[in-house]
Chain A
Amino acid sequence: DAKTTQPPSMDCAEGRAANLPCNHSTISGNEYVYWYRQIHSQGPQYIIHGLKNNETNEMASLIITEDRKSSTLILPHATLRDTAVYYCIVRVAPNAGKSTFGDGTTLTVKP
């Protein structure tokens, strides 16, 4: 399974866009990129996922580079409640459930 690399921490001003990068240079063609976040030892919350096209939902946008070796999660208008640890993982069938979570990025949104 492809491994991911994320910066350990980032800060963002409230109301501004938060751009969280993830490197997955060894990703294979059938691996999907997923983003989750975890707030205060609660269960990780699904945010968004994609294969090669950019994706957007009510929570965030996911930009995947053309070579698929990296991606960026964009929270368009960060709020204090977005402060969390953000995990970027890859999933591939049939081992999709066996995801490797790295250390993630701790995003701190500041007023």
Chain B
Amino acid sequence: KAGVTQTPRYLIKTRGQQVTLSCSPISGHRSVSWYQQTPGQGLQFLFEYFSETQRNKGNFPGRFSGRQFSNSRSEMNVSTLELGDSALYLCASSLNLGANTEAFFGQGTRLTVV
């Protein structure tokens, strides 16, 4: 079956703009988590959604937001982009919120802010 799909794969935006990234989880998976990866900070947790509800949130400013739709697809939005937001944004999906459930990652969206 199809894996986790993230779109777009690459994106270039200007400082001050906003951006929306999309994640389609594996069919049947209801949990989606988002991570930001930068060379300096590594992989950092942004937020997690399950059944259209945000279940966990990382330590990121309010400019970072997300949502999940009834079909489990998720989007994350970053407003007022800063140069430091340049990163690889990764989405992971899992069947449910259980700890004994593998999470599968997409290939990520590489965002460059200029």
Shortest CB-to-CB span from B2 to chain A, Å, is: 14
B104→A96 contact, CB < 8 A: no
Which of B33, B43, B48 has the largest count of A CB atoms less than 10 A from its CB? B43
**A96-B94 CB under 8 A given contacts A102-B42, A103-B42:** yes
Which chain A residue lies CB-closest to B33? A97
- Cα-based distance from A41 to B110 in the complex (angstroms): 9
Is A100 interfacial (CB 8 A cutoff)? yes
Which chain A residue lies CB-closest to B58? A98
Is A30 interfacial (CB 8 A cutoff)? yes
**Interface SS of A by simple majority:** loop
Tally of A-B Cβ pairs under 8 angstroms: 78
Encode B17-58 as 1/0 by CB contact (under 8 A) with A: 000000000000001110101000011110010100001101
Q: Of A6-14, A43-51, A59-67, which stretch is located at the interface?
A: A43-51
Is B70 interfacial (CB 8 A cutoff)? no
A97 neighbours in B (Cβ, 8 Å)? 31-33, 45, 48, 50, 55-56, 92, 94, 97, 103
B97→A51 contact, CB < 8 A: no
CB contacts under 8 Å to A, within B88-114, are 88, 90, 92, 94, 97-108, 110
Is B81 interfacial (CB 8 A cutoff)? no
A96→B103 contact, CB < 8 A: yes
**A98-B56 CB under 8 A given contacts A44-B90, A49-B102, A91-B99:** yes
B104→A46 contact, CB < 8 A: yes
Which chain A residue lies CB-closest to B6? A43
- Cα-based distance from A34 to B55 in the complex (angstroms): 21
- Cα-based distance from A96 to B43 in the complex (angstroms): 15
**A41-B48 CB under 8 A given contacts A93-B98, A97-B55:** no
| 27 residue pairs from A and B, CB less than 8 Å apart | A30-B99, A34-B102, A36-B105, A41-B37, A41-B88, A41-B110, A42-B108, A43-B105, A44-B43, A44-B90, A44-B92, A49-B102, A87-B43, A91-B103, A93-B99, A94-B97, A95-B56, A96-B94, A96-B99, A97-B31, A97-B32, A97-B56, A97-B103, A99-B33, A99-B45, A102-B42, A103-B42
